[in-house]
Amino acid sequence: MTISVIAFDADDTLWDYEIIYEQARPEILRLLGSHQENDELSAILDETEINNLVVYGYGVKSFALSMIEMFANHANGPIDKTTLKELIVLFKYMLSKPLEVNQYAESVLNRLSKEYCLMLLTKGELFEQERKIQRSGLEKYFDIIEITSQKTEKKYRQILEKHGIKPHQFLMVGNSLKSDILPVIGIGGRAVYIPHPQTWIYETLPEEEQGGGYSQLDHLGQLPEYLDQMGVFSS
Ligand SMILES: [Mg+2]
């Protein structure tokens, strides 16, 4: 098999991102008036976010709208001006916090960009994702950048067709079985799953739905050696 295009997921594959939400959640609960980690409220918070995905899509701005809804429905008493200001500061911080780029990203992309066509394929809000790509300093390694609202089989097919890529030439690398791996296997591509310790509950799958047909690595630094061993070089 000859792979000529390697696509990378961005959030929690090339840089840490779920951690930003994980750090924000207790802060939101505190502002809501729950001074201790409240499991029930925390579950409602996730549920509100997930239910709103169909209306708002992914990203911090969508998260912010969902959190305002949380306050409207679950705040202890009326929301004062100070709390609102604290929320706005939190959302702006989430949008501007420096990215923790994966320690292997630069060297792996630099090496692979000499032999493959590299694609950055990320799901989220256009402006937010563009800013993160610019801030990461990794943009220069990619021949193709695709920002999509969803990562379904249909979307992958459309993106591949748009660039004239056949599924058997395509390999996707990412941390979400649901978004990065199974849909790519479903359309006849190859996929390398690199789990990240912080993965949003929505992106996780129960064991019986984790499927197969993909490879799994412990970290991004193992990717070049994996490709060498698989003999999937383009030349
Ligand atoms: Mg990801």
pLDDT single digits (tens) 37-51? 677 888 888 899 999
Ligand 1 centroid – CA 75 distance (Å): 31
Instruction: Give the span between the Cα atoms of 156 and 145, in whole angstroms.
Output: 13
Q: What percent of the chain has pLDDT over 90?
A: 74
Ligand 1 centroid to residue 175 C-alpha, Å: 5
pLDDT in tens, 55-109: 999 899 999 999 999 889 988 788 889 999 999 999 999 999 999 999 999 999 9
Give the Å distance between the CA of 194 and the centre of ligand 1.
Answer: 10
Q: Which of 78, 108, 81, 77 is nearest to 15 (CA)?
A: 108
Å from CA of 195 to ligand 1 middle: 9
Q: Comparing C-alpha atoms, which of 215, 225, 168 is closest to residue 194?
A: 215
User: Ligand 1: distance of its center to the CA of 229 in Å?
Assistant: 25
CA of 5 to the centre of ligand 1 (A): 18
Residue 227, classified by CB atoms within 10 Å of its CB into exposed (0-12), middle (13-18) or buried (19+), is buried
Q: How far is the CA of 136 from the centre of ligand 1 (A)?
A: 15
Q: What is the pLDDT of residues 75-88, one digit of tens each?
A: 878 888 999 999 99
* Local confidence band at 205 (pLDDT 50, 70, 90 cut-offs): confident
The residues, any chain, with a CB within 8 Å of residue 213's CB and separated by 6 or more, are: 185, 191
Mean pLDDT to the nearest integer, 200-229: 89
Which of 8-12, 61-65, 71-75, 163-167 is predicted with the least confidence, judged by mean pLDDT? 71-75
Residues with CB under 5 A from ligand 1 (ion): 9, 11-12, 175
85 phi, psi to nearest 5 deg: -65, -40
CA of 10 to the centre of ligand 1 (A): 6
Residue with tokens 């500061």: 89
Q: What letter would DSSP give residue 16?
A: E
Q: What is the pTM of this model?
A: 0.90
CA distances (Å), 21 to each of 13, 16, 35, 60, 97, in order? 16, 11, 18, 8, 12
Asked if residue 184 lies in contact with residue 9, where contact means CB atoms within 8 angstroms, the answer is: no
- At residue 231, the 3 state secondary structure works out as coil
